[in-house]
Structure 1
Amino acid sequence: MFRHKKYERSWFSLGFETLELIYHAGVRKMRKTHHNAVLGLVMAIVQALLMLMIMYFMMSLFGLRRIAVRGDFMLYVMSGVFMFMTHIKAIGAVAQAEGPTSAMMMHAPMNPIISIMGAALGSLYQQTLAAGVILFVYHAMWNPITIDEPVGMMGMYLLSWFTGVGIGMIFLSAMPWQPETVGILKTLYQRANVIASGKMVLANNLSPSRRDWFDWNPLFHTIDQARGFIFLNYTPRYTSYDYAIYCALVCVMIGLMAEFFTRQHASASWNKRN
């Protein structure tokens, strides 16, 4: 009499339920960082703004303005900073998503994939809002912005986020095995991307020996390709968004396989002290 009755449901209904779970997981992830949702969004805008100001003054101080694309220099800086912030924030959010030993996994139909998607989409929402607000204020108060191919630019922005999701999934799957080591490696990768992303330089202006320092990084390719879509006077010759797509897909597949393996072996008692 008290047994739970399982009702047959359509794939359409299950799809909507999954989307709802992803939405609530994303909201929960954002509110874990900041109890006030508005404050969390304001902090994302402030972080992006600070990064923009630092990069602007650094490039002006070291004379890098002369190697920038002919056009709006501030838009050139924004193109690199927004892609960089979206990438590293996606890595951080996914790597810190609820794992297989989390208490949230005890509540059906919650699972790690929903947690990953919620964290990734929450990060994308925050960074997109921050970029949109800053671009609007700059466009309205200082200098009108003109983007040559906005659809292509948006595609590179999403690809920067997607590559971050793939790399973050690898860190997430390795986290239960060695939390301290993986945490250090994640931080090192994020900090190294301040330089390795190549957001301060143009691939066309680099010599082959210097370009080899950045070619391995998918973010370098998406930033350079995005500048080709943003600026009429720049055509990328040495980067390819195909590389970033393949790199992201490979990272996602490795992350999914590693996460499945970890889920079969992870135990809540691993990190407990006697």
Structure 2
Amino acid sequence: MFRYHSARKTALGKAFETAELIYHAAVRELRKSNGNAVLGLVIQIVQSLILVLTMYFLFSVLGLRRIAVRGDFMLYVMSGVFLFMTHIKAIGAVAGADGPTSAMMMHAPMNPIISIGGAALASLYQQVLAATVIIFFYHSVITPITIEDPVGVLGAFLLAWFSGVGLGMVFLSARPWQPEAMSIIIPLYQRLNMIASGKMMLANNTKPDMRAIFDWNPLFHTIDQGRGFMFLNYTPRYTSIEYAVKFGLVCLMIGLMAEFFTRKHMSASWNKRR
């Protein structure tokens, strides 16, 4: 009598229903960390602002401003920090999404894909808001800025988020099998990207042997390409948008297949022995 029965819907109706569920899952994800939604968003903005100011003063103290692109130095710092934050936050949000044994999965028509989509969307919303507020404040209060190709910069921003979602899917599918290992690997990868993302350097100015250390990282390619779109005086020669896109797609496909396999075998009793 109390079992959920879905009415027969068209493909378009099912798509709208899924989009609505993802939206509500994203709202729940945003309110989960802080009961006050506005305060939670302010905290995200402050986190990004603190990292921007930290990197600015670090560049100034170490005398690294000479390696930056000719143009607004604060904009150069923000171009690296915002893409870095978007990438690692997407990984953390997706990797920490509700799994098949979560209590939320008992409420039809909820499923893990909706939970993952909601977590990814909430992460993107937070980072877009933080970047928009900080750039608007800097442009209107401190000094006017000019972005050479705003659409290209937005594309690089979304690509950093997309590659983070792909990697997060891989970590999410592996977490039920090795939760202790994933609790170490995920933060380690996020901390490693403080250096491996290449947000403190330009690929064109990096020696080949040093560049080879960072070349595996899709975020390194995305940040460098994003700076090419942002500044008139910089043209990336050693990074590729295609690599970041292919990396994200491959990780997403692997993560989806692994998540489906895990969902078929996952049991709530797995964690009882730990």
Report the number of matched residues: 274
Aligned alpha-carbon RMSD (Å): 1.4
Compute the displacement of 1:273 (Å): 4.6
Match of 1:170 in 2: 170
Q: Deviations over 1:65-93 (max 9, x none)?
A: 00100000000000000000000000000
Compute the displacement of 1:4 (Å): 7.0
Match of 2:96 in 1: 96
Change (3 A) 1:59 1:273: same
Compute the displacement of 1:12 (Å): 1.6
Match of 2:146 in 1: 146
Distance 2:20 2:6 in 1: 20
Match of 2:68 in 1: 68
Match of 1:125 in 2: 125
Determine helix, strand or coil for the equivalent of 2:99: coil
- Structure 1: stretches of 5+ with no match in the other structure: none
Code of the aligned partner of 1:150: P
Match of 1:251 in 2: 251
Distance 1:109 1:89 in 2: 27
Match of 1:204 in 2: 204
Compute the displacement of 1:7 (Å): 3.0
Change (3 A) 1:152 1:2: closer
Distance 1:260 1:229 in 2: 37
Distance 1:204 1:55 in 2: 20
Distance 2:56 2:3 in 1: 64
Distance 1:3 1:113 in 2: 21
Match of 1:188 in 2: 188
Contact 2:4–2:108 (CA<8 Å) still a contact in 1?
no
Code of the aligned partner of 2:139: H
Determine helix, strand or coil for the equivalent of 2:270: coil
Alignment of 1:101-120 (within 5 A): 101-120=101-120
Distance 1:3 1:74 in 2: 57
Code of the aligned partner of 1:155: G
- TM-score relative to the length of structure 2: 0.97
